[in-house]
Structure 1
Amino acid sequence: MKRSFYLQYIALVIVGLFLLQSCDDNQQWEIVPAKGIPTARHEAGLVAYKDKILLIGGRRINPTDVFDTKTNTWIAKSPTPIELHHFQPVVVGNAIYLVGAMTGEWPNEKPLDKVIIYYPEEDRYEYGHPIPKNRRRGGAGAVYHNNKIYLVGGITNGHVDGYKSWFDTYDPKTGEWHVLPNAPDARDHFQVAVANNKLYAFAGRRTSKATDQDMALTSSYGNVYDFDAQKWEPVTSDLAIPTERAGNGIFAWNNEIVIGGGESVAHEKAHAEVEAYNTITKSWNKWPSLLNGRHGSGFVIVGDYVYTASGSGNRGGGPELTSIERLKLPRKGHNDSDVVNTNRKTVYKQWHTVTLPFKGPETSEKAIDNPFLNYRLTVEFKHAETKRTIRGFYAADGNAANTSADSGNIWKVRFTPDVIGEWTYSAILHHDDSIGLDTNLTNGTKVDISNANGSFIVSNSDKSGVDFRANGMLEVSKGYFKFRDSKKYWIKGGANSPENLLAYVDFDDTYRLKASEKDGEASTTSEIHTYPNHLKDWKPGDATWKDKKGKSLIGALNYLASKGMNAVYFLTLNILGDGKDVWPYTDSETFDRFDVSKLSQWEIVFEHMQSKGIMLHVVLQETENETMLDGGDTGPLRQLYYHELIARYGHHLGLIWNLGEENGLAPWTPIAQNDKQRKDMAKFLKETDPYKHPVLLHTHSEDPHRSVILDSILGFKYLDGLSLQQSEREHAPEVLETWRNKAKAAKQDWLITMDEIGLWHTAALPDNQDINHNTLRTYALWGTLLSGGSGVEWYFGAKHPHNDLTSEDWRQRDRLWELTNYATTFFQRYLPYWEMEPEHTLVNSKEAYCLRKEGEIYAVYLASSGTYTIDLKDVEGTFSIHWFDPLEGGELQNGSVEKIHGGGIRTIGIPKSKNQQDWVCLIKKISDKI
């Protein structure tokens, strides 16, 4: 009896303690009865100053509304000097700083160019320090810590596009602005908080009205910056936010980061959920939900309560709320715990490179037991929907790009995941004589390595715009480039020169074997590339290696991307050929040993190119050295060369394997590969490359040398198309169309790009010799694209300054890049070109090119002014007519004729501009009726 009574007593005590402990958990949000109401608003800043709460900004110009928590009274004070919204205000001393804000109307809002400061005691706004032009954005998270304001993420172009992963610090006293390492994820429409000397960025989205994804791309994972370590922590699975949303509020309390409110595509009502991330246990728990879901506001703590006010009750712009509610905060120490979740998984992004290192046996580039030939690392990546087997490579000390190490015990694999979700991997390092060439992956002796098995999570990509990581892997479809995982097509425009792009002074062990003045190629000196005029194009935060090397080449690529170019052609092996300054080996005579540090530095450049939307057009050899490896066969040396390139660079999303420059027999190149050798190369690349990148062939510029080679390879399933060369530019369109039609007759949709135009000595001249590049623009650019071409690259010729081997400055052809961008932009913006076919005979001129989708849309290039007609006898309906200026680009223009009807030959009129020049006419069906 006594024992039973004792147990009952203990039970009652436990229940009582539980009830006491949980009383804070049972607290609910409550509407605060207020005297007066604030101006209804959303996308405003909510901030606590002493015992008052301030509502600042929001859509439109609004008064600054102040809530006195002692009297529960709203008072309206001075309005903001301009419309201010999408910001997280921070208190610094007796002032409130507004950084990372926007102004203007949806969706084309502009970021502020200056900091704006509000002094509550004086009820006064003033403009503060300027914000660096290249770091301006709105919708960013801001927090005051260690006497600095830290600004994270944001978006540069209103709600259209331009979301960023930027991280900066701003000193409100001095105005000094410093760029810090980017966050792991880009995001906007969110807020940040600091706890235990770490910054936490949760929720938000990548706003992209440009792709009709205004709210769809909500962020799945949070990012954590460790102020002590001065770096971002790895993104792990515990950072996955339970309820994805943007426009949320945030605050730190009791070792927890609390996120509430927000908007998303999940439902029309704004989110009311409040969720907390425990920074000690690395786990999530629920807090009481808001009484009124809202977004575009924030949270503030005053006394024992957390408050929120204003905002929008539904996703989007309304209804705008005027209520204020509060929640009594739980006691300090309530959620502390020493338990840490150790079952965390690293989170990578879809289409981002996953690089995994493995510790294996100590060796070196020059070891007797060749690490490139006698070891083979393979890694199997598995997902519920698929699996991939990827080959790895020897990486010396794992950081050779910066250390120039040629020895070490690190092997690596690079993998690009295309599917979201959990992946597992299993790695095996085999050792045996020439095991690197053995395709039977079970052969060889297993060698112990670290990290042989594991798993990780893949979440949505956070990239936007031209960055290939926003779009996925390029493949060939219907004779054009297409992103494999979408319906989006892509057209190429870029640089074919300098072909020895990688002969760059900042790459390890890179030099020219000897100068050359041989007839038929560009003259060279003993100097290799330094690209000095592009040093100014390097930007803070861009890639470098070895104590800031590489800036001028990275800057050069920045410049080319800024002109809208998206492809660069370069050789990876020109021993015996033009230039004699690019090879992947430890020296120019040893073909089974690879220069690990040089190849790692190449990878830094290639990664930057991909982030800028620049395709890697990898040209594997030259006509002079196509028999240098294995006599032209795909034997052990060529296989090893291809294995290394595929393992180190095959993970890139925008990449072409080109079998070789001017491949095949011709009178000036009598030592050449034959048809079987070309086919063996293409077959090996296609079967070995796990990503199945396009394989193209570049051959001679004139028939019959070209046709003998191409006729023999038509219909070969492992070749995706041609990197076409044509000597007489006037014939470029007809040559391209000829091979396109021959391929179709062989039941192939060859992708054909015009990559080298003009006689070898004179091609694309610098602007100061050919300002508008008239013949290139007419025949090689518009002529080939409207004849079914899938892109162009410009070759610089040999017999003038800034030639194919010595060019140091892409600005010498600034105008050529502009003209090219006008054309490719026109195709991307206005044409379903992958569904169209060339039919030049529809127009009454030999100087016209026409691409059509019959009865739907016609794009016509007219080389000169005149009176033109188009044959619409076989189609019905009404068609609109607009004009595009290939010299100046811009929007479509109206002409003298606005509409024409099918059923006959119709005059298309002329553009209203009186300029006597070439024009492009866009004819588009607008009605089935006449």
Structure 2
Amino acid sequence: MKAIGIKSIVSLILSLSLLSCASLETDTTEKGWAWENVEATGTPTARHEAALAEHDGKLYLLGGRRINAVDVFDPASQTWTQKSKTPLEIHHFQAVTVGDAIYIIGAMTGQWPKETPLDKILIYYPKTDRFEYGDTIPKARRRGGAGAVYKDGKIYLVGGITNGHMDGYVNWFDSYDIETGKWTILPDAPHKRDHFQAVVSNDKLFAFGGRRSEQRAGLSFEQTVIPGDVFNFQTNTWEETRPETAIPTKRAGNSAIAIGDYIVIGGGESSEQVAAHDEVEIYDSTTQEWKNWPDLLQGRHGTGFAIVDDYLYTISGCGQRGGEPELSSIERLKIPSGLATSKEVSSSIEPEASPVMMQPDDTPTSPKLWHTFELDFEGPETSETAPVNPFTDYRLLVEFSNGETSYLIRGFYAADGDAGNTSAKSGNIWRARFTPDTEGEWTYKASLKRGARIAINRDPSVGENIEIANPTGSFHVGPSDATGKDFRAPNRGRLKGDGKLFRFEKSGQYWLKGGPASPENMLGYVGFDDTYRLLKEAREGEASAEGEIHAFAPHRKDWKAGDPLWGWKTGEPRGHSLIGAINYIAEKGMNTIYFLTLNIKGDGNDVWPYESPHEFDRFDVSKLAQWNVVFDHMQAKGILLHVVTQETENERMLDGGDTEFFRKLYYSELISRFGHHPALIWNLGEENGPSSWMKVGQSHAQRKEMARFFDENDPYDHTVLLHSHAQHDDINWTFTPLLGFKPLDGMSLQIDEASDVYESTKEWHERSAESGHQWLITLDEIGPWYNGALPDDVDPDHDNLRRHVLWGHLLAGGAGVEWFFGGKYHSNDVSTEDWRTRDNLWTQTAIALNFFEDYLPYWKMGSCGSAMGRLDVYCLGIEGEIYAFYQPGRGSHMLTLPENETGYSVSWFNPKLGGELQTGSVTSLESGSNQFVGFPPDADTQDWVLLVKKK
């Protein structure tokens, strides 16, 4: 057996080589290059699923849903003329102009979703305004929604669908000889697709975009096709699919045309958004690069492109996915001069660069500090469902050492080694992931063993040895090249709980968290393999779980050039919307996301790591690999993984709540596959234990066993928290017996009333300190359950949350806040598709986090309420040095300050709007009691943070 080698996971992300964006400059006389509306005399019939064709300098709009007249537009006079109606309803076709005729080949007729393909070619003659039926299409090759092009006396037809929108999408390729009427079957295209258009340029046919329509399975828009297909007429073969041909914006129903060496793709529809797409992207067939052209003024699908007098036109179509609203508008774009050849293009136009999607590079790279790399070994050929279970009866252990420190890493079954891209369920690859914390020389020693339930046994001596090649080796770890907030940057790395706060293990730098705790079922995402909702229901006291699983369509636009995707080798790279959502939340300054890895029986019922939601000893390798792509990206964006391993409804599902075989196996797989990430929390369970509203739950002993397992088996010793119920008595009953228990690092606190946050945070800090084991306290859910953090359109200012929860928790010495979205309003805890629904809340959270980082040595500060002498003031300080006060309501401010020789400075900070420190009516204070702090800069603004510092 052979060791495949060491691969840096970061190369998976970085090797998505994409072009940087540049501003658009052309040699046109206009400064701004954009589409323009065309004002015309007359109006064409609004229609979609129609065709647009140029003939003799005029534009012909043909077909569409219903029986429509042919509308003709004369660009010279800017007038519309109506001609004959089509002899029957024709739609979903790409018109082909040949000589004096326009050919309609590969069209459909009839009503959605069970349309039928035409059995004959239909020909329209513009000069005489008449339709004629042409040759019969072979019965076995009839379809609609195909791409049609003309070249050298033949019309070529590629792709399409045989059974309306129900099913039957194909990758057929045929030619029709116009002179002889001969129909020839050609080699199938690499990918099946319908709802697209094909073009010819430089002796090649290009097929971009489209989808695999399957209404029978409820998949009308979802199965878009990203890879492009290229047929070489010189070699009469389809070229091998290249990552460079992947269309940047996935869509179907798009228009396509060739302009010189450029293939222009515009408009379309997709599951990613309701509005029709307005993006226009071009593929340079000489450089294999994608670039952006100006967006359409009106997104549209189901129409076409045509060129007259150096203008690119589009007309009609539909403004949203589906069939409404139908459009009648005309747009045109001036084509830059000299676009006939690639040489002229390069000298005359530099459009805005756009992604060239490339498959991740498998080339091994040298390991780097804090960057995870993978060590793979070939083992027995097996599968997720093999009789000898690869998840229970095999165990890979790898010891990594640098002479001073050693890590014993449990490996895992990885199918074919690339399951995230191939969706493979079988293979012979076993993998270990390791994140080095020190530069220099490292060695490894690996063993792969077999035995009944050996997977949860970490004794290296147990089991039947399976020989593997290169079981020992060495490697050099170089410096990190990550920057900014990336957790793999040199000054960051592993983040751990250290008393009351998080701190980077090596640099000692402290860190506060803030971000979303919803949707908690983030991993119930349509882009992951075998992910679906088990049960659509909304139980009393829970967020609604009705509807489909997450698509995060509003965040498709947030996906950036260079971002990772998965599913490359299935022909459909996925993940744009979820990766885009991660980008958005990071750009808002958030640095953590709370999510469940198992919600069977709970809210959502759509997240599990298993091959089947009914078997708990076999795991879905490809799904977990795809999860890890998202987790990698989160780490690169500086976002902590708050991994919540179960919820209250299923805490007794595995082993009756004990930490025995099934729970140990589950936790072991989580640690093996994801424990390598530098910034991660293991949360033992949401709302754990019995409560006033749920009498059955795990016991004190069971909670301790869970925490003990992570303490003993996580080689990186990540922070372990437990999420509480909301009521004080329930919290007290669950957590009091855990005080002083060292394997538990702290509380993931839920509070029902916002005004209780400050005192509750202080209470558990004090009680844990008195027990001899200081806890880290995070505020991860705010009630009441039906409200939580409401959307901006319901509560735009978030005054109560800002005053009592955000600043109350942080000024009580808390480690950070995550926002729960409640259960009764739109965009709730399990239904949220767009994090922009709380955009104002993210802004205010970032303002608070930045204030603490910029102005306070918060890690050295403690409670200082006595300085103010009032119970309704939140305060964090160091006696005689620095104080930060927040008064949620109005009132006077009198301070008692310790004696010093220099006195104190007074500044004010606006916690709602942020900005710089401001000066009020008093700028300095003396020592002693009853020091009046003066008035804030704006007496009409209720919210102010008062910062008092020793001069």
Shorter-chain-normalised TM-score: which range? 0.5 to 0.7
2:366 counterpart residue number: 347
Matched, 1:406 2:425: yes
Q: Would you identify which runs of 4 or more consecutive aligned residues in structure 1 move more than 4 Å?
A: 111-117, 127-130, 146-150, 170-173, 176-182, 229-235
Q: What pairs up with 1:317-328 in 2 under 5 angstroms? A: none
Matched, 1:509 2:530: yes
Aligned-pair CA distance for 1:452: 2.6
Q: What pairs up with 1:469-484 in 2 under 5 angstroms? A: 469-470=488-489, 471-484=492-505
Q: What pairs up with 1:474-623 in 2 under 5 angstroms? A: 474-546=495-567, 547-623=572-648
Q: 1:231 to 1:781 in 2, by over 3 A?
A: closer
Aligned-pair CA distance for 1:439: 2.2
Q: What pairs up with 1:120-159 in 2 under 5 angstroms? A: none
Aligned-pair CA distance for 1:462: 1.2
Matched, 1:647 2:672: yes
Give the whole-Å Cα distance in 2 for the aligned partners of 1:521 and 1:180: 41
In 2, are the aligned partners of 1:148 and 1:171 still within 8 Å (CA)? no
Matched, 1:175 2:350: yes
Q: What pairs up with 1:451-850 in 2 under 5 angstroms? A: 451-470=470-489, 471-546=492-567, 547-850=572-875
Q: What pairs up with 1:415-426 in 2 under 5 angstroms? A: 415-426=434-445
Q: Which secondary structure state, in structure 2, belongs to the residue aligned with residue 743 of structure 1?
A: helix
In 2, are the aligned partners of 1:864 and 1:916 still within 8 Å (CA)? no
Q: Which secondary structure state, in structure 2, belongs to the residue aligned with residue 380 of structure 1?
A: strand
Give the whole-Å Cα distance in 2 for the aligned partners of 1:876 and 1:113: 58
Alpha-carbon deviations, 1:363-396, whole Å to 9, x = none? Answer: 0000110101111111111213322111110000
AA matched with 1:617: H
Aligned-pair CA distance for 1:616: 0.6
Selected match of 1:880 from 890, 905, 908 = 905
2:236 counterpart residue number: none
Give the whole-Å Cα distance in 2 for the aligned partners of 1:912 and 1:625: 52
Q: Which secondary structure state, in structure 2, belongs to the residue aligned with residue 455 of structure 1?
A: strand
Aligned-pair CA distance for 1:437: 1.5
Q: 1:502 to 1:230 in 2, by over 3 A?
A: closer
Aligned-pair CA distance for 1:606: 0.5
AA matched with 1:612: K
Q: Which secondary structure state, in structure 1, belongs to the residue aligned with residue 676 of structure 2?
A: coil
In 1, are the aligned partners of 2:925 and 2:931 still within 8 Å (CA)? yes
In 1, are the aligned partners of 2:383 and 2:426 still within 8 Å (CA)? yes
Aligned-pair CA distance for 1:172: 5.5
1:381 counterpart residue number: 400
After superposing the two structures, state which structure 1 stretch, 869-878 or 583-592, moved more. 869-878
Selected match of 2:455 from 422, 436, 440 = 436
Give the whole-Å Cα distance in 1 for the aligned partners of 2:906 and 2:26: 48
In 2, are the aligned partners of 1:845 and 1:868 still within 8 Å (CA)? no
Alpha-carbon deviations, 1:879-917, whole Å to 9, x = none? Answer: 211111111111111222122122333222222234322
Give the whole-Å Cα distance in 1 for the aligned partners of 2:637 and 2:943: 31
AA matched with 1:568: I
Q: Which secondary structure state, in structure 2, belongs to the residue aligned with residue 516 of structure 1?
A: coil
Q: What pairs up with 1:189-268 in 2 under 5 angstroms? A: none
Give the whole-Å Cα distance in 2 for the aligned partners of 1:230 and 1:486: 35
Give the whole-Å Cα distance in 2 for the aligned partners of 1:747 and 1:902: 35
1:911 counterpart residue number: 936
AA matched with 1:893: Q
Aligned-pair CA distance for 1:655: 0.5
AA matched with 2:367: Y
1:57 counterpart residue number: none
Give the whole-Å Cα distance in 2 for the aligned partners of 1:864 and 1:666: 33
Q: What pairs up with 1:258-407 in 2 under 5 angstroms? A: 346-407=365-426
Give the whole-Å Cα distance in 2 for the aligned partners of 1:233 and 1:677: 43
Alpha-carbon deviations, 1:464-483, whole Å to 9, x = none? Answer: 11111111000111310000
Q: What pairs up with 1:7-18 in 2 under 5 angstroms? A: none
Alpha-carbon deviations, 1:149-185, whole Å to 9, x = none? Answer: 99xxxxxxxxxxxxxxxxxxx9555314646789xxx
AA matched with 1:594: F
Give the whole-Å Cα distance in 1 for the aligned partners of 2:366 and 2:793: 51
Aligned-pair CA distance for 1:566: 0.7
Alpha-carbon deviations, 1:640-671, whole Å to 9, x = none? Answer: 00000000000011100001011011232222
AA matched with 2:448: L
Give the whole-Å Cα distance in 1 for the aligned partners of 2:470 and 2:32: 51
Q: Which secondary structure state, in structure 2, belongs to the residue aligned with residue 378 of structure 1?
A: strand
1:339 counterpart residue number: none
In 1, are the aligned partners of 2:748 and 2:779 still within 8 Å (CA)? yes
Aligned-pair CA distance for 1:840: 2.0
Q: Which secondary structure state, in structure 2, belongs to the residue aligned with residue 911 of structure 1?
A: coil
Give the whole-Å Cα distance in 2 for the aligned partners of 1:548 and 1:880: 57
In 1, are the aligned partners of 2:880 and 2:898 still within 8 Å (CA)? no
Q: What pairs up with 1:24-35 in 2 under 5 angstroms? A: none
Give the whole-Å Cα distance in 1 for the aligned partners of 2:454 and 2:582: 38
Alpha-carbon deviations, 1:696-733, whole Å to 9, x = none? Answer: 01121112221011111000010000000010111111
Q: Which secondary structure state, in structure 2, belongs to the residue aligned with residue 811 of structure 1?
A: helix
Q: How many residues align?
A: 624
Output the TM-score relative to the length of structure 2.
0.63
Aligned-pair CA distance for 1:487: 2.2
Give the whole-Å Cα distance in 1 for the aligned partners of 2:494 and 2:382: 34
Q: Which secondary structure state, in structure 1, belongs to the residue aligned with residue 928 of structure 2?
A: coil
Aligned-pair CA distance for 1:116: 14
In 2, are the aligned partners of 1:851 and 1:860 still within 8 Å (CA)? yes
Give the whole-Å Cα distance in 2 for the aligned partners of 1:902 and 1:171: 72
AA matched with 1:511: Y
In 1, are the aligned partners of 2:690 and 2:697 still within 8 Å (CA)? yes
Aligned-pair CA distance for 1:878: 2.0
2:228 counterpart residue number: none
Gaps of 5+ in 2: 1-18, 35-284, 290-344
In 2, are the aligned partners of 1:171 and 1:177 still within 8 Å (CA)? no
Identity of aligned residues (%): 51
In 2, are the aligned partners of 1:849 and 1:861 still within 8 Å (CA)? yes
AA matched with 1:348: P
Q: 1:619 to 1:875 in 2, by over 3 A?
A: farther
Give the whole-Å Cα distance in 1 for the aligned partners of 2:360 and 2:520: 38
Aligned-pair CA distance for 1:449: 2.3
Give the whole-Å Cα distance in 2 for the aligned partners of 1:478 and 1:911: 35
For CA contacts below 8 A with separation 6 or more, give which structure has more relative contact order: 2
Give the whole-Å Cα distance in 2 for the aligned partners of 1:541 and 1:395: 25
In 2, are the aligned partners of 1:129 and 1:175 still within 8 Å (CA)? no
Q: What pairs up with 1:41-190 in 2 under 5 angstroms? A: 173-176=348-351, 178=353
Give the whole-Å Cα distance in 1 for the aligned partners of 2:785 and 2:352: 50
Give the whole-Å Cα distance in 2 for the aligned partners of 1:555 and 1:629: 34
Task: State the superposition RMSD in angstroms.
Answer: 3.0
